[in-house]
């Protein structure tokens, strides 16, 4: 019999969003006609930008003609997309990133999960608490942690508590860590790190020779004109030696089902080999990517590149404005109902304090049973999320309004 990877046995039974889906399925068995409103998983509901649709139709037509048909593309992505990203997401913000420092993928979830493969087993990781579960779970799978303890923490991991008292912003660890996962604007709390917050992390990473894994999947939600919240960690001096950035078209342009994201890995970021040499990480990631991935589909990359046209940019802005209006409706509606609410300003996530001292999963069950609204229990993102609850602004407008009314009626 083959041996298994025992690290998997350390993980709790199911992934957070799978557990939510399971509870909904059970509820549906007894209430087949229930009118459920889903503001749980951060999945978008608006159609793709028309510029992307048109570009994908044209790409399909190219595939229908032997003269323009494409088979395998470059694993790292087509130049037309990498160059557009380098220009629009970076150069236009004063950041110099070479197109070949950008690796196109099928989304930031895979990238955030896969990146740890190029790092040694003995690195100490730091994650925020609460946290997007993928960062932690993939390190558990890789054997980079100890066991899950009764207090909900894995041994061998440095947790950075993010609570209302510190505005849900991680503080620098007291001990040395090697890999630091940061997400800003944050999933799940919605908190956004300022330039000085991020500069402190970059300085820490440089001093400790650590690497920051920076998830910027929600950067498009930063309020336009706010100069104090960086869209990219590379806006901070010195970050190009210590940070890897993750971006996604999912939340920016509605690609959750279409799948496209990218990793930015500057050639100047280095790690240490066992023999003490300082080795650039770029070739390692390139090796991993080209070995395990055959490239994002040409059609999808054409759709992604279309968001950088003038028409595409206007459509993406409209999409984001739509969701941010939902965020305002949720935030203000729940505040009026007397709930304490955070996030929802530079972020599509609203992070609310459960009423009284209710536990997160109890609040989840109450909303499901009594008003048929789905959210995400804060404790699913880590022990510090206990007593909190996340709602997403990615719903349909009318359904979002209806959900707020239902929750207000309950309060």
Determine if 187 is a binding residue for ligand MLT (CB under 6 A).
yes
Minimum distance, C-beta of residue 374 to ligand MLT, in the bound complex (Å): 11
φ and ψ of 376, to 5 deg = -120, 125
Q: Which two tokens stand for residue 406?
A: 């239902």
Give min distance, CB of 340 to ligand MLT, in A: 21
- 132 vs 285 by CB, closer to ligand MLT: 132
Choice between 46 and 270, CB closer to ligand MLT: 46
Q: How far is the CB of 41 from ligand MLT (least distance, A)?
A: 4
DSSP assignment letter at 343: E
d(CA 114, CA 215): 13
The answer to whether residue 343 forms part of the interface with ligand MLT (CB under 6 A) is: no
Question: How many CA within 13 A on the CB side of residue 14?
Answer: 8
Buried b (16+ CB within 10 A) or exposed e, 231-260: bbbbbbeebbebbbbbbbbbbbbbbbebbb
Count of residues touching ligand MLT (by CB under 6 A):
6
Say whether residue 42 binds ligand MLT (CB under 6 A): yes
Q: Which is nearer to ligand MLT, 76 or 252 (CB)?
A: 252
Which residue, among 98, 72, 73, has the nearest Cα to 85 in the 3D structure?
Answer: 98
* Selected binder of ligand MLT within 109, 231, 331, 353 (CB under 6 A): 109
CA–CA gap between residue 332 and residue 343 (Å, rounded): 11
Binding flag, residue 21, ligand MLT (CB under 6 A):
no
Burial class (CB in 10 A: 0-12, 13-18, 19+), 337: middle
Question: From residue 123 to residue 142, what is the string marking binding to ligand MLT with x (rule CB under 6 A)?
Answer: ---------x----------
- Nearest residue to ligand MLT, by Cβ distance, number only: 42
Minimum distance of ligand MLT from residue 15's CB (angstroms): 10
Q: What 3-state class would DSSP assign to 135?
A: helix
| Range in contact with ligand MLT (rule: CB under 6 A) among 38-46, 85-93, 236-244, 314-322 | 38-46
List residues near ligand MLT by CB under 6 A: 41-43, 109, 132, 187
């Amino acid at each position: 019999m083959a041996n298994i990877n025992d690290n998997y046995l350390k993980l709790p039974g199911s992934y957070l969003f799978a557990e939510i889906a399971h509870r909904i399925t059970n509820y549906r068995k007894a209430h087949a006609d229930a009118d459920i409103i889903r503001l749980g998983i951060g999945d978008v509901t608006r159609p793709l930008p028309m510029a992307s649709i048109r570009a994908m139709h044209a790409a399909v037509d190219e595939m229908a003609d032997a003269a323009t048909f494409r088979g395998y593309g470059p694993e790292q992505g087509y130049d037309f997309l990498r160059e557009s990203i380098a220009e629009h997401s970076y150069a236009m913000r004063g950041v110099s990133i070479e197109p070949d420092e950008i690796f196109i993928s099928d989304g930031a979830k895979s990238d955030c999960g896969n990146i740890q493969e190029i790092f040694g087993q003995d690195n100490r990781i730091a994650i925020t608490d609460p946290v997007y579960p993928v960062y932690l779970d993939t390190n558990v799978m890789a054997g980079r942690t100890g066991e899950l303890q009764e207090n909900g923490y894995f041994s061998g991991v440095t947790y950075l508590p993010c609570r209302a008292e510190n505005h849900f912003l991680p503080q620098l660890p007291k001990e040395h860590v090697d890999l630091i996962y940061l997400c800003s604007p944050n999933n799940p709390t919605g908190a956004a790190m300022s330039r000085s917050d991020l500069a402190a992390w970059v300085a820490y990473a440089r001093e400790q020779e650590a690497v920051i894994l920076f998830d910027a999947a929600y950067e498009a939600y930063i309020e336009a004109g706010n100069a104090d919240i960086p869209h990219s960690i590379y806006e901070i001096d010195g970050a190009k030696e210590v940070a890897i950035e993750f971006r996604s078209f999912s939340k920016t342009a509605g690609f959750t089902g279409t799948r496209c994201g990218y990793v930015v890995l500057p050639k100047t970021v280095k790690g240490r080999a066992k023999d003490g040499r300082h080795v650039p990480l770029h070739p390692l990631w390139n090796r991993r990517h080209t070995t395990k991935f055959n490239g994002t589909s040409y059609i999808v990359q054409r759709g992604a590149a279309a968001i950088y046209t003038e028409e595409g940019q206007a459509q993406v802005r409209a999409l984001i404005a739509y969701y941010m209006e939902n965020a305002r409706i949720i935030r203000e509606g729940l505040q009026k109902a007397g709930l304490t609410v955070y996030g929802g300003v530079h972020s599509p996530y609203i992070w609310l304090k459960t009423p009284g001292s209710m536990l997160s999963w109890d609040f989840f069950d109450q909303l499901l049973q009594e008003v048929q609204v789905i959210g995400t229990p804060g404790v699913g993102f880590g022990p510090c999320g206990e007593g909190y609850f996340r709602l997403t602004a990615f719903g349909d407008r009318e359904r979002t309004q209806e959900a707020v009314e239902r929750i207000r009626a309950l309060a």
